[in-house]
Chain A
């Protein structure tokens, strides 16, 4: 009983000590890696270089493994992993993201213009396409909304209380 009392009274001290030790160790362990990957040092060109490198790496992994997923998705997961190790999103990458977001739709134009060479497919499969787009989207939004209202909202409110 005495020992427990002592531990609980000094628990604040212990938690500080553990936190301090853990914090020091975790940054010390990753310092050589994260320091090298601290892209804010290299600025926007460094950030773009990393994006391209991760795309190439992902594509290479995807074609070697034969998985039918886009390689860039592997690159994205690696980047999230890197952020998680560093404990924050890289400032230069955030800057690139915020600057590029309004222009994202522009990059879809060359691919989408390809629709002019699939006029025949549209002529034969217009019903499937129209049903998928209009019916499919309406059903998806409605079903997700109902489920989200039933589950998500309640769990967020429980956590808030």
Chain B
């Protein structure tokens, strides 16, 4: 019996099958729970797959090799982000200067608020590179972290947790500090909490969603430039 399981685990399609099945189950549960951000399908799917790997004593490296196709598709997804960027280009052009100001301030705050504490207590570049891209969309953040010597698996979880936190805490915080305008709310959610925040913004209103997409996509582009530059400065 154990031998049969071992055989199945070594099949090159095993990793993809497990990932797809776990994600399908997770997203079915998420739909049942009214798309509550806390039960985001990625989080549940990671728990399912992780539990399976630990239970069957399967090394993560073997699983990653089998699921490599999905992991490699992250690159193509980043290229595909050209579509939403081009869709919003009219809006971005119309108020380019102000959007740029909001974007620069937001990105800097995101970077500083994440790195200040680890930097002060003297953590190494590995942890800084893992945390730094946390407000960018997951595909971009994972690739940045990988290139700068961070732990990409941890980055993925940090980024998704950031999205969930932003989607859950963001709207009440914005309400309390008096940001009532849907466009400002959307932009803040998209910039701070990427795709999960954008999905939350679309629940507020269509306008909030569009501004969230702009915030998310531009922050992803800026993070690609800002994080490597910032970490180089720290290193030097």
Which of B53, B89, B162 makes the CB contact (< 8 A) with A133? B162
B153: chain A residues within 8 A (beta carbon) = 111-118
Q: List the interface of chain B (C-beta within 8 A of A).
A: 15, 19-20, 22-23, 40-42, 45-46, 49-50, 53-54, 60, 63-64, 67-68, 70-71, 73-87, 89, 94-95, 97-99, 101-102, 105-106, 109-110, 113-115, 117-118, 121, 123, 127, 130-131, 134-135, 138-140, 142-144, 146-148, 151-158, 160-162, 165-166, 169-170, 173-174, 177, 179-181, 183-185, 187-189, 191-193, 195, 197, 211, 215, 221, 224-225, 228, 232
Q: Tell me whether A23 is interfacial, beta carbon within 8 Å.
A: no
A100 within 8 A of B: yes
A-B contact pairs, 30 of them (CB 8 A): A55-B79, A58-B75, A72-B77, A72-B139, A76-B85, A80-B89, A89-B86, A93-B83, A97-B80, A106-B19, A106-B70, A107-B73, A110-B15, A111-B138, A113-B49, A117-B153, A121-B154, A129-B158, A132-B117, A133-B158, A133-B162, A137-B134, A137-B135, A140-B106, A140-B166, A140-B188, A141-B189, A145-B179, A146-B179, A155-B98
A93 to B83, CA, bound (A): 7
Which of B20, B144, B157, B180 is within 8 Å of A112, CB to CB?
Answer: B157
Q: What 8 A-B pairs come out closest when comparing CB atoms?
A: A114-B153, A70-B143, A145-B188, A72-B78, A144-B106, A79-B82, A112-B156, A145-B179
